[in-house]
Structure formats: structure tokens, C-alpha cells
Structure 1
Amino acid sequence: MSRGRCASDADHRHVAKAVRRAGSSFYWAMRLMARERRRALFAIYGFCRAVDDIADEGGTREEKRTALSRWRERIAALMAGQPGEDPLERALGEAIDRFALARADFEGVIEGMEMDVEGPPVAPSMEEFDRYLDRVACAVGRLCVKVFGAPADTGRGLAEHQGRALQITNILRDVEEDARLGRLYLPGPLLERYGIETRVPGEVVRHPALKELKLGLAKRAAAEFSAARAALAECKEGDMRAARIMLEVYEDRLYRMVGSGFVSEPGGRFAKLRERFRKLAIAVRVIVGGRERARRAT
């Protein structure tokens, strides 16, 4: 790890509070990390949340373009060694210096948000689909694995396989909700393969072949999870607990969707509580399992 700019404790507390208020599914997984790693992960999450909010919240397309362009400028300034202008920027500057985070990965995340801003995606090509997965998920993973301390080659493979697995799982979960917003992330070639000719999101979600298409895409996600799990097993350095918890939570979510035939689970307060307890159980299993492996190794 290199050393350079240091944010103040007050800056880090500000960022941590914002992450907790945002209700991240993985707040407590990040909390498990040693202080320097935890602070860097919170800063990365804060950046991702900031640009995601620009893409998803109100405002004209031009206003969103301008806001994302401003973030490109802010990242460029931080990469040039300039001090940050606010707590999040200062925390990011520290993380960049300490863990040698790559400008290309920050810009990749911004590009993913720009893809959403430029218009609701509707049945993209496979090339566009894979590029979107890389920008909105794998780029984030490439930032995180450096903080985790994973070996370079293995860590990159983990980031890319796990990023694709997580994002495909999200896409499968949100097909109907996205359709209501005029979005259709399912690739055009995949629709063709299953005989779905329409590209109107609301019609696609009512097509009788959609369930089979989802099962086909779920198989790709499962293969990516398997590859990510193999990469995790090769990571003998660093602290990979947060990555393992993320994998386990999302893989569980994928198999529950498949097992239910992609029927949405009932919502409401108790559903949220069940989901929290499920994540907690997975986190405990990962932590206890890690301790058992460490004891066996000694």
C-alpha cells in the first residue's frame, strides 16, 4: 500500500454516516474490514452512490450529463494529486493513494451511468450488454479487490466474474420493474433465441417465453458465480470476507428466484426483515467458516 493524502477522522465519519443512511445491503460486510480498508470501501461506495443518484433521480438529460461530467473532472483532479473539495473527495483521494486505485475504473462507473442517462436501454446487443455489465459492476469490483488486497491477476478475474454474476442477478430480479420505466436490459439476441419478437418492455414481460429466457440467463449468472468462487479460493492474500458475503448473498438470491419460477416474493415490512435476517445468517456463516479455515491452517 502506498501512502499520500489523508482525510480527517471527521471526513471519514461523514462518509460512513452517509453510507449507513443509504441503507446499503453490504454496510455491515464493509464494517468487518480493518479501518483503512473499510474507509476506502466506504469512499468507493459513496462515489458509486453519488453517480447512480445522478442517473436515477430527477433532472433533465442535459443536467445529468453535466453532473456526470463534473464527476469526471473531480476524479481527474484527484488522480492528479489535488486535494478534495468535500469529505467524500478527500476520502477518495486517500483511498486512491493508499490502494493505487485506477482512474479507468472510476471512469468506467461514470460511463455506465451515462449509458442509462442517454436513454432507457431497450434490448441491447450482446456487446452493449457486456459493456454495461463491465461498467456498472465489474469496474466497481476492480476498485474493491485492490482494497481487499487480492493478488492482481486473481483479483481482476474475481472482480469481473463476480461483477457480471451480481449484475445479471439484479437484472433478472428487476425485469418487471424496469419495464414499467420503459427499460429492457435483456439482450436482443437473447430475446430472438427464445422467440420473443417484440421489443416493447411491457409486452416482453407478458410473453410466455420470458420464464425460459430468464432461466437461460440465470445459467450464465450461475456459471459466473462458479468462476468467482474458484477465483476466491485462489485469493490467499488480503481480506476477502466482504467479497465472499456479497457472493453468497447474491447467489442465494439467484437460486431463490429460480426455485420460485421467478415469482416475486411478497413485499412489506416482514419481507424486509426476512431479507435482513437471511443476509445476517450468511454473514455469520462466512465469518465462522473463515475462522474454522484459519484454525485448520494452523
Structure 2
Amino acid sequence: MSHYITLNRARNVKKHYENFPVASLLFPRKQREAATILYQFARECDDIADEGSLTAKQRMTHLLEYKKGVSEINSGITPTNPLFVDIKHICDEFSLEPDLLDRLMTAFEQDITKDRYETMGEVVDYCHKAACPAGEMILTLFGAKNTVTVKLSNHLCIALAMIGMIQDIHEDFLKNRIYIPKEYFKQFNVTETDIHHKAFTPDWERLKKLWLDIIDHHIGSGEALKNHLTGRLKLQIKVLISASRLLSKRMKQDKSNLFVKSPTLTKWDWGILLFKAIIRP
């Protein structure tokens, strides 16, 4: 029986939003349960920042409870919120740095207060707050966090975040958020009106190619992470690297309207990728 108070709730949250079905199967129970609790925290905060019709002020107000929980853990205070009771237990058991939670909170607040990005540097900085802490958390749960693995993991996390950004351009636009930086709009002569009218022009196709090239660069720069890991975590990272490469390849080959439908991976794809990861060194 689990010692986590909110595990059942967290499992339901993860099941509803799961984007990487293989990953959840590969963790040993101890790490899987802890990761599920951390995912619940991130998912709930992300929904506050991203979903529904709340005003920015209302969203920030709703995040205060989560900021309070993180602050209590940082200050050594025993939380009262059951979710943060569980998170504190994880921090204590796995020596998880609460600073990672702070960085995620900063990203959620940024999603509320910032809806446009000027440069690619700003986008990467956002990824370091919104995506990279998740990778560091997983490394910590497996006792595999060090300066080398964090650097490699950051590249993979940035690649995964950028895949999500290019897949969800129109969906994010409907929430009045665009991650594609303004410098790229100018460089490729594209407009927000294109997104509004779902006009995926040849100029957008050229922008997509550059974006995917950057993703491939980050995958290549982080691929060596698998060589620094063992066991199930190594297997998971091999699957995620292969999945990222396959999705990038499909998006490059696909000439359909990205604002209408983006290529995805099926459960069959994930099964094949897992099989290949198991049989290949």
C-alpha cells in the first residue's frame, strides 16, 4: 500500500493527460509513484495557468496555494495541503531539491503574464524553467543527477518542449499565446493572421523546417544521456529519444496544414520503439 495521500487522484490526472504511455510503464513502483505525484503538481498548476476563461489576476490568485506549498517545503515547514505533504515526503526520501519546484512555478506564472516572445533565446530560457526541471526531477528519483546528466537532459527536455510548441501553434494562439518568437515572424515573413485563418503558407513551411532542425540539434546534443544511465531509466530515455526523432522526421515529411492537424505517434509506434530499445544496445 502506498504512503502517498493523493496517489489515486494523481493517477487519474496522469491517465487523463498522458502523452507518453510507454514511460509510465517503465519506472519501478517507487519511482513511478513519486513521478506521478510530481506530475499531478505540474498538471494542476499548468491547468490553472492555461485552461478555462479566468482572468490573469484570478489565475495568479489560484496559484498562490501552490506557491504557499512550495514555500513551506523550502522553509522546512510541514505543509497542510495533502499534495504538498506528499511532495515533501518525496523531497525528503529522494533528496529532491525544492528549487526545481520554484523554477516550475516561475514558468507557470510566466504563462500567465507573458504571451509573446521576442527572440529564440527567450524561448529557450522559458524551456529551462518549464521543461528542464522535470528532467532533473526524474534523474534525482533514480539517483542519476550530476552536472553531466543534467546538461544532457536539458537538451532533450528543450527538444520535447519545442515539439509541443510546434504541434500546438493554433491551439496556443486560441489562448492568446505564441511561443514562436517575433524574430522568426520577421525573418520568415509570417503573421499571426496566418494562424488565425489557418493559412499554413510556404513561408511557414520554411519556418517549420528551421524549428525542427533546432529540435534535431538538441536531440543530438542530449542523446549521449543514455550512455550515462542504467536499467529502466536508460530504457525510457532510449525510447523518448527515438520517439522524438521519429516525430521530428514525420513533421518534416508531412506537408499538410500544421494549423489543422499535426503528426503524432500512435500506441503502435510506442510499442515498436520500446521493442527496438530493448533489443538494441
Using structure 2 for the length normalisation, give the TM-score: 0.86
Alignment RMSD, CA only?
2.9
- The change in CA–CA distance for 1:88 and 1:245 in structure 2 (over 3 A counts) is farther
Structure 1 residues 8 and 177 mapped into 2: Cα distance closer, same or farther (>3 Å)? closer
Q: Match for residue 45 of structure 1?
A: 39
Residue 143 of structure 2 is aligned to residue 152 of structure 1: no
Q: Which residue of 2 aligns with 1:281?
A: 272
Per mean C-alpha deviation after superposition, the further-off stretch among 201-210 and 48-57 is 201-210
Q: Distance in 2 between matches of 1:180 and 1:265?
A: 11
CA distance in 1, matches of 2:41, 2:219: 26
Q: Could you tell me whether the CA contact under 8 Å between 1:111 and 1:135 is conserved in 2? A: yes
Superposed CA deviations along residues 139-165 of structure 1, whole A, max 9, x for unmatched, are 221222211332401221122101110
Q: Which amino acid aligns with 2:11?
A: K
Contact 2:199–2:259 (CA<8 Å) still a contact in 1?
Answer: no
Equivalent position of 2:225 in the other structure: 231
* 2:75 corresponding residue in structure 1: 80
Show structure 1 runs of 5+ residues with no match.
1-6, 294-298
In structure 2, C-alpha distance between the alignment counterparts of 1:143 and 1:175, rounded to whole Å: 27
1:162 aligns with 2:153: no
Q: Tell me the TM-score normalized by structure 1.
A: 0.81
The answer to whether the 8 Å contact 2:31/2:142 transfers is: yes
**Cα gap change, 1:265/1:244 in structure 2, threshold over 3 Å: closer, same or farther?**
farther
Say if 2:13 and 2:40, in contact at 8 Å, map to a contact too. Answer: yes
Distance 1:33 1:259 in 2: 33
CA deviations on 1:87-128 (whole Å, 9 max, x unpaired) are: 432321121112222222211111111112125x23432332
Q: For this pair of structures, how many residues does the alignment match?
A: 278
Q: 1:129 aligned to 117, 120, 123, which one?
A: 123
Aligned ranges for residues 198-237 of structure 1 at < 5 Å? 198=191, 200=193, 201-202=195-196, 206-235=200-229
Among candidates 131, 137, 161, match of residue 143 of structure 1: 137
Aligned to 1:118: 113
| 1:203 Cα deviation from its structure 2 partner | 6.7
Structure 2 counterpart of 1:278, one-letter code: D
Q: State which drifts further: 239-248 or 105-114.
A: 239-248
| Aligned AA (1:109) | L
State the SS of the aligned residue for 1:127: helix
Q: Check if 1:106 corresponds to 2:101.
A: yes
Kindly indicate whether residue 184 of structure 2 is the aligned counterpart of residue 193 of structure 1: no
Q: Secondary structure at the match of 1:107?
A: helix
Distance 2:90 2:102 in 1: 16
Distance 1:210 1:18 in 2: 37
Contact 2:119 2:181 in 1 (8 A): yes
Distance in 2 separating the partners of 1:168 and 1:205: 21
Output the CA distance in 2 between the equivalents of 1:237 and 1:21: 24
**Aligned counterpart, 2:65:** 70
Shift of 1:20: 4.1
- 1:172 deviates by 1.2
- 244 and 98 in structure 1: CA distance in 2 versus 1, 3 angstrom threshold: farther
Tell me if the contact between 2:90 and 2:96 (Cα under 8 Å) persists in the aligned partners. Answer: yes
Cα displacement string for residues 5-35 of structure 1 (whole angstroms, at most 9, x for unaligned residues): xx95362642452244323123542332122
